[in-house]
Amino acid sequence: MKKTLLITITFLLGLLIQSCSNNDENEALKPVNFSVSIKYDETFNNIITKKSDVTIVNSETGNKYTVQSDDNGTAQFNQILPGNYSVSATKVMQSAEFTETFGYTPSETEINFNASQSNITVNTETTPVTLIMKTSKVGDFVLKQIYYGGSDTKKGATFRDQFIEIYNNSNTVQYADGLYMAQLTGSTTTTVAAYSLANGQFDWSKAEGMTEGNSANTNYVYGINIIKIPGNGTQYPVQPGKSIVIAQNAINHKSNYIDNNGKAVSILNPELTVDLSNADFESFLGTFSGDLYQYDIQNPAVPDVEIAYWGNSNNDMILDANGRQAYAIFKMTDAEFAALKKYKNPKGDKNLFLQIPNSVLIDGVDTTKDLGSGLIPKKLQAQIDGGNTYLPSGNYSSKSVIRRTKTTIAGRIILQDTNNSTNDFVEITANPRGFN
């Protein structure tokens, strides 16, 4: 009798525990409301931002939701699943609205504001989040197409056919002479450590020898490899609506060739790769980083870029095929460049990274593996790039990210440039000098 009673009590207790556990799980999955307040920064007196597009992305599932901020500057997201989210806001303001809002006429006809924040835990206890909108000048040169994914490792060219395309988005001639292009580095995980910020990005203020304080994180980016367009200042004009293509190797990757070791390289499916023999520049390193690389093929008909800084052991301009880098273009004098400082990252890795001030950046693009679990912490401040772009098809898929076409005026294509790559870029099959 006692034994039966004991079994009954144990059984009931188990049911009670299971019931409580199920209730806890149900509560954790119960949809919640989440609000984001949007304001301009102190330059614009911290006034509220009306009618900005606010997007949140679930870092586990990649699910994305977009709403517009109301007249109180609030974006309200109702009945979303609890989880970890990133949030970004974009406001494209025409000159007339800018004048009406701030009381003076801007020099540009269109002004872009952006803000972003990541690693936000959304649950029943989450308080409203505030984003501060900042703006920066929209550049005359923009990064148009970044082919970092590469092509099939067996039937294509792997990463050897990578290229970057830079476009003159203005209505006047621009000169590429002296233009720098940097591959930017940072943490590749959102996991928070003693040497990182809340979003998982490196806390550069903790780098050995750093004296900048938090401005090391907000006022600079960090380059691992940097190339420079040669020229005397007016040697390489780029007409309005035209671009320059910088190839890792300026050869026709659709054709078989002989590598630097005298070995025949066969391309099994030419349709998977691109012809870069007519690129404007190539990144031939030669013996700069050691022995001549087997696949660093030089095309004598294509000018070489200058190797301005090389911080890792790569023996060619190899872009990260997984999308874990960012890219920026900038200009400065030779003396200013020579004065830039170098630091190890705060994790203590052996490589030295070049500290580049945000103030000189003309354009920048953050790439990532995906917007869900593969989200990479941003390297660029929101006023430079308020979002991320990525390849839904993944690496070695023959795909690139390319800037959207905004409009065409008198035959000149104008590309979309809101300083938010999530909005501005799409995926296409790599196509140098093509458009989406």
**In which element (H, E) is residue 225 found?**
strand 220-228
**Inside any domain, residue 83:** yes
**Inside any domain, residue 22:** no
**Inside any domain, residue 16:** no
**Inside any domain, residue 165:** yes
249-275 as b/e, with b when 16 or more CB fall inside 10 Å?
bbbbbbeebeeeeeeebebeebebbbe
State the average pLDDT over residues 156-180: 97
**Inside any domain, residue 435:** no
When comparing pLDDT for 50 and 124, which is higher? 50
Same domain, 131 and 152: no
Most confident of 29-38, 85-94, 329-338: 329-338
pLDDT for residue 298? 95
**Is residue 364's pLDDT more than 90?**
yes
Q: Which two tokens stand for residue 299?
A: 């095309």
**Is residue 423's pLDDT more than 60?**
yes
State the average pLDDT over residues 89-115: 90
Same domain, 80 and 166: no
Same domain, 65 and 182: no
State the average pLDDT over residues 172-186: 97
Same domain, 288 and 415: yes
Q: Which two tokens stand for residue 127?
A: 């308080």
Structural contact between residues 49 and 73, judged by C-beta atoms closer than 8 angstroms: yes
State the average pLDDT over residues 193-206: 96
Same domain, 410 and 351: yes
Q: Which two tokens stand for residue 368?
A: 């990532």
Residue 381, beta-bridge partner list: none
Residue after which a domain boundary falls, among 135, 152, 187: 135
Same domain, 256 and 275: yes
Same domain, 200 and 344: yes
Confidence of residue 17 (pLDDT cuts 50, 70, 90): low
Residue 275, beta-bridge partner list: 252
pLDDT for residue 5? 46
- What CATH number corresponds to the domain at position 120? 2.60.40.10
Distance in angstroms (rounded) separating the CA atoms of residues 411 and 225: 36
Among 41-50, 215-224, 286-295, 382-391, the least confident range: 286-295
Structural contact between residues 381 and 123, judged by C-beta atoms closer than 8 angstroms: no
Same domain, 126 and 229: no
Same domain, 247 and 106: no
**Inside any domain, residue 255:** yes
3-state secondary structure 346-372: CCCCCCCEEEEEHHHEEEEEEECCCCC
State the average pLDDT over residues 401-420: 95
Same domain, 85 and 163: no
**Inside any domain, residue 167:** yes
pLDDT for residue 26? 58
Q: Which residues contact 236 (CB under 8 A, 6 or more apart)?
A: 175, 176, 177, 229, 230, 244, 280
**Inside any domain, residue 6:** no
Confidence of residue 28 (pLDDT cuts 50, 70, 90): low
Residue after which a domain boundary falls, among 111, 135, 159: 135
Distance in angstroms (rounded) separating the CA atoms of residues 170 and 417: 11
For 281-310, the pLDDT digits (tens) are 999 998 887 789 999 999 999 999 999 999
Structural contact between residues 201 and 192, judged by C-beta atoms closer than 8 angstroms: no
If DSSP codes are grouped into helix, strand and coil, which group holds residue 205?
helix
Structural contact between residues 285 and 247, judged by C-beta atoms closer than 8 angstroms: no
Residue 326 has, within 13 A of its CA and on its CB side, a CA count of: 30
Distance in angstroms (rounded) separating the CA atoms of residues 327 and 403: 14
Distance in angstroms (rounded) separating the CA atoms of residues 345 and 207: 6
Residue 306, beta-bridge partner list: 228
Q: Which residues contact 17 (CB under 8 A, 6 or more apart)?
A: none
DSSP-derived letter for residue 339 is T
Same domain, 167 and 111: no
Distance in angstroms (rounded) separating the CA atoms of residues 26 and 40: 38
For the chain, how are helix, strand and coil distributed in percent, rounded to 5? 15, 35, 50
Total domain count, the chain: 2
Task: Write out the residue range of the structural domain in which residue 90 sits.
Answer: 32-135
Confidence of residue 278 (pLDDT cuts 50, 70, 90): very high
Distance in angstroms (rounded) separating the CA atoms of residues 140 and 157: 32
Of 349, 362, 385, 326, residue with least CA distance to 183:
326
Confidence of residue 25 (pLDDT cuts 50, 70, 90): low
How far, rounded to the nearest angstrom, does the alpha carbon of residue 270 sit from its chain's CA centroid? 29
Confidence of residue 391 (pLDDT cuts 50, 70, 90): very high
Residue 427, beta-bridge partner list: 401
Residue after which a domain boundary falls, among 95, 116, 135: 135
Same domain, 101 and 155: no
**Is residue 403's pLDDT more than 60?**
yes
**Is residue 219's pLDDT more than 60?**
yes
